[in-house]
Structure 1
Amino acid sequence: MTERAAAAHETDRHGPRLGEFVAMMAALMAVNALAIDSMLPALPAIGEALNVSEDNRRQLVITAYLVGFGGAQLLYGPISDRLGRKTILTVSLLFYGLFAIASGLATSFEMLLGARFVQGVSAAATRVLVVSIVRDRYSGSQMARLMSLVFIVFMIVPVLAPAFGQAVLAVASWRFIFIGLGVYCATVLAWALIRLPETHMPENRRPLSIRHIGDAIGTTLSHRLSIGNTIALTLVMGGLFGFINSIQQIVFDVFGRADLMAWVFAGIAGPMALSSWLNSRIVERIGSRRIMLWALGVFTSFAALHLAIVAFHGETLLAFVLLQSLTMASFGLISANLGAVAMEPLGHIAGTASSVQGMITTVGGSLVGLAIGQSFNGTTVPFLLGFTLCGLAALGIALWTNRPEETMPGSIIDLPE
C-alpha cells in the first residue's frame, strides 16, 4: 500500500472519507475567507452608518481582522501540539461566532474594529489547525496535492462571498452579513464536532513549556526552506491583501460600476480555483519546487505587463478583469506549493511551525496589503505597482531559498528525473 493510500485508508477508518475530509477542511478555511470577502460590497454602507468620512479608512475593517488573525496564530500551534487539535478548534469557532454577532451590533467604528480584531484572533485557529490536521496525515507532494484540493473548494467562497454580501444589502442592513457569518460558523462547528476525530495522537504531544516552544519556533525560523519560502509566500499574500483592500474602490470609483462588484470579483477569483485544481493533478508528477518557481515567474510577468499597459494606454473594466485574472490564476499554483515546501521538514512540530509561518504570512502580508491599499489615488497604478514589486521580490527569494544544492534525496523539492 502506498503512503497516500495508507493515509487515505487511515482517514476512512478514523473519520470522514477523503472527499468529506477535503470538504470539511475547505469549510473551516472558508470561515476566514467569508469574514473578509463578504465585507467588500458593504464597506461604503458601514462607513456611512458609523460616520467614517475618509474612504481609505474603511479598509481598516479588513485590516483589523487580518492583524488579529495573523498575530494570534502563534498561540494556537503550541497549544494544539500539547492539547490536540479538536478542543482548540471547538473553542475558537465558538468565539468566532460570538464576535461575528458583536460586530453586527457595533454602534461605533471603533467598537466594530475591536470586535473584528477579536473575531480575527478566534479565526486564526482555523488556519493553523487545518494545515496541522492535514500535515498530521500527509506530507510532501501528497500534502501539496491535498491542500490544492482543499483550495479548489475553498476558492469557491471568495467567488461567492461578495455576491452574498451584495444580496444581503439588497434586502437588509449590512449588520445581517455578520449574523450570516455566525450561522455559517455554527454549522461548520456542528459538522466538525460530529465527524472530525482528533488527529494529533497522545504519543505525539509536545510539552507546553517555554523551552520546547522556543526550540520549535527557533527551528521554524532558522530552517532555510521554512523561513525562505514563508517570506516569499508573505510577499505574494501582500499582493492578494492589496487586491482585497483595493478592489471595492477600484470597481466603485475608478470604473464607476458598483453594480458589477460581485461579478468582477468572481471573474478574477475564479481562475485561482482552476489553478488549484491543476496543481492537484500535476504536483506529484512535476514537483512542488518547479511548479511554484514557474508560477511565480508568470505571476510577476503578468503583473508587470498589466502595469505597463495601464501606464501607457489606460484600460477598461473588461481589460482590468482579464489581465488581473491572468495574474491571480498563478496564485493557486504558488500558495499550496510554497506552504508545503515550507512545512516539509517540520512534521514533528507541525502545529507550532504552522502557527509561526501563518503569523508571518498573515501579519506581514496584511501590512504589505494595507500599504498597497492606502496608496490608492483614484487609479489602478499604485495597486499594480505593488503587485509587481511583491512578485519580483518573492521570485528572487524563492530562487535563492530553493537552490538545487540545498535539496536532499527524497525531499519534496527534488526535481523529477
Structure 2
Amino acid sequence: MDQTHSRATIADRLPLGRNELIALAAALMALNALAIDIMLPGLQEIGASLGEPDENRRQLVITAYITGFGLAQLVFGPLSDRFGRRNPLLVGVVVYVIAAFACAVSPTFGALLALRFVQGMGAAATRVIAISVIRDIFGGRAMAEVMSLVFMVFMVVPVIAPGVGQVIMLFANWHWIFVFIGIMSTLVLIWIAMRLPETLRPENTRAFTVSSIAEGFRIVLTNRVAVCYTVALTFMFGALFGFINSAQQIYVGLYGVGAWFPVFFGVVAGFMAISSYLNARLVGRFGMRKLAHGALLGFLAMTTLGFVLALLGPVPLWLFTIIYALAMVQFAWIGANFNSLAMEPLGHVAGTASSVQGFLQTAGGGIIGALIGQAFDGTIRAFSAGYFFAGLFALVMVLIAERGRLFQPQHAPLHDK
C-alpha cells in the first residue's frame, strides 16, 4: 500500500471531518500564541507587581516560556513516534493547564519564570503533535494547504489576544490573565479527549531507545533540504519573537499609543492571517517553492527598507506599521511553506522530525528574539537590524537547500541529503 492511499485511508477513518481537524490543530498551536500574546498589555504590571524593576527583564516572562517550549519538543517527538500522538498530547496539555493556573498565584517573579518554563514544556506537545498529525494524514501540496489554513486560524489569536488581555486588565489584575489561559486550555483538553483519534500508522512506530532516537535524529539532521529550511525558518521565527518581545515597548513606550496597542499589534497579525488564507488557496496552483521563495525576497526587501530608514533617523508610526505589516504578510507565506518543505521528506519519522525542527525553530528563534528584545534602546534600530539580518541569513540557507536555484520545482528524491 503506497503512502498516498494509506493517508487517504486514515482520513476516511477519522471521526472528525477535515474542517474540524484543521480547527483542532489550529487550536493546539494557538495555545502557544495565547500564552504569549494575551499578556503583552500586562507585562509591565506583572514585573512591577512581583518586584522586577528592569523593564527589559520583564520580557523574560515570554522568553522562559519559549525556552521550555523549545527544549521539551526534543522529548515529545520521540515519545509520539513510540506511543502514538494522542496520549503524549493529553499529558502535555494537562501540564500546560496546571502551570497556567499555578502562574496565577505565583508569589515572586522568579517563581513565575519557573512556572512559565514548565508551561512551555507542556505546550511543546501541542506544536510537535499537531504538525505530526497533519503529516500523518497529508503530504505534498495538500499538507501545505492544510498548514496554511492552520496558520490562518492560529494567526487570529494574536489579533484578538492582546485586546482580550487589555480588557482583563481594565476590570481585574494580571492574575486573571493566567486564569483565562487555564480555562481556555481546559476546553481544548476536553476537545482532544473527546474527538482526536490516534493517527500514527503502526508501520511508522519507532522504539523509544537511545539508539532508535539517535537514529531518528540522524535521519532528520542529515537531510540537507529539511535542515536548511528548518534553520531558515529559525531565523524567521527569531524575527517574529523579536517583534513580540519588543512590541509593547515600541508601540507604547516609543510611539505612545497607550490603550491602542492591541489594535496596532492586531493589524500586523491580521495581515498575517489573511496572507495564510491566500497561501492555502494558491499553493496548489503555484507550488510551495515559488510562493515561499518569492515571499522571502519580499520580506527581505521590506526589512531592508525598514533598516535603512531606522539608521537615517526616527521613523513615523504610520510608516513603521506599514513596513512591518507588509513584511509579516510575507512571513505567513514563508512559515507554512517552509514548514511543509522541511517535513515533506521525513514522513516516516514525523514525530522526531517535528520535534527536532520545532526545537531549532523555537529555541533558536527564542534566543534570537530575546537578543533583539534585550537590545532595545528606545529606538527601532536594533529591532530593524534584527529583522533585516534574519531575512538575509534565511535566504542564505534556502540557497544552500536549493543548490543556488530559487523558484525551481523539486524533482530530487524525497530523501536527498
Q: TM-score range by the shorter chain?
A: over 0.9
Relative to structure 1, is the Cα distance of residues 172 and 142 closer, same or farther in structure 2, using a 3 angstrom cutoff?
A: same
Provide the C-alpha distance between the structure 2 equivalents of 1:310 and 1:408, rounded to a whole number of angstroms. Answer: 42
Q: Shift in Å at residue 15 of structure 1?
A: 2.1
Q: Map residues 3-402 of structure 1 onto 2, 5 A cutoff.
A: 7=7, 10-402=10-402
- The one-letter amino acid paired with 1:164 is V
Contact 1:287/1:412 (8 A) holds in 2 = no
Query: 2:411 corresponds to which residue?
Result: 408
Q: Which moved more, 1:345-354 or 1:283-292?
A: 283-292
Provide the C-alpha distance between the structure 1 equivalents of 2:15 and 2:3, rounded to a whole number of angstroms. Answer: 18
1:15-53 Cα deviation digits (max 9, x unpaired): 211111111110011111100111110101101101111
Contact 1:141/1:412 (8 A) holds in 2 = no
1:319-352 Cα deviation digits (max 9, x unpaired): 2211110111101110111111111111100000
Provide the C-alpha distance between the structure 2 equivalents of 1:9 and 1:343, rounded to a whole number of angstroms. Answer: 21
Question: What are structure 1's unaligned runs of at least 5 residues?
Answer: none
Provide the C-alpha distance between the structure 1 equivalents of 2:291 and 2:96, rounded to a whole number of angstroms. Answer: 35
Contact 2:289/2:409 (8 A) holds in 1 = no
Question: What are structure 2's unaligned runs of at least 5 residues?
Answer: none
1:354-397 Cα deviation digits (max 9, x unpaired): 10010011100000000000000001111011100110110111
Contact 1:144/1:337 (8 A) holds in 2 = yes
- The one-letter amino acid paired with 2:210 is I
Provide the C-alpha distance between the structure 1 equivalents of 2:116 and 2:260, rounded to a whole number of angstroms. Answer: 26
Contact 1:69/1:362 (8 A) holds in 2 = yes
Q: Shift in Å at residue 5 of structure 1?
A: 9.7
Q: Shift in Å at residue 212 of structure 1?
A: 1.1
Q: Shift in Å at residue 14 of structure 1?
A: 2.0
Provide the C-alpha distance between the structure 1 equivalents of 2:375 and 2:180, rounded to a whole number of angstroms. Answer: 32
- The one-letter amino acid paired with 1:137 is I
Relative to structure 1, is the Cα distance of residues 3 and 149 closer, same or farther in structure 2, using a 3 angstrom cutoff?
A: farther
Contact 1:52/1:58 (8 A) holds in 2 = yes
Relative to structure 1, is the Cα distance of residues 272 and 149 closer, same or farther in structure 2, using a 3 angstrom cutoff?
A: same
Provide the C-alpha distance between the structure 2 equivalents of 1:5 and 1:200, rounded to a whole number of angstroms. Answer: 15
Q: Which moved more, 1:399-408 or 1:110-119?
A: 399-408
Relative to structure 1, is the Cα distance of residues 406 and 328 closer, same or farther in structure 2, using a 3 angstrom cutoff?
A: closer
Q: Shift in Å at residue 149 of structure 1?
A: 0.7
Q: Shift in Å at residue 140 of structure 1?
A: 1.4
Provide the C-alpha distance between the structure 2 equivalents of 1:51 and 1:14, rounded to a whole number of angstroms. Answer: 50
- The one-letter amino acid paired with 1:162 is P
Contact 2:81/2:205 (8 A) holds in 1 = yes
Give the CA RMSD over aligned residues: 1.9
Provide the C-alpha distance between the structure 2 equivalents of 1:4 and 1:351, rounded to a whole number of angstroms. Answer: 18
Fraction of identical pairs, as percent: 44
Partner-residue secondary structure (3-state), 2:361:
helix
Partner-residue secondary structure (3-state), 2:378:
coil
Provide the C-alpha distance between the structure 1 equivalents of 2:317 and 2:5, rounded to a whole number of angstroms. Answer: 46
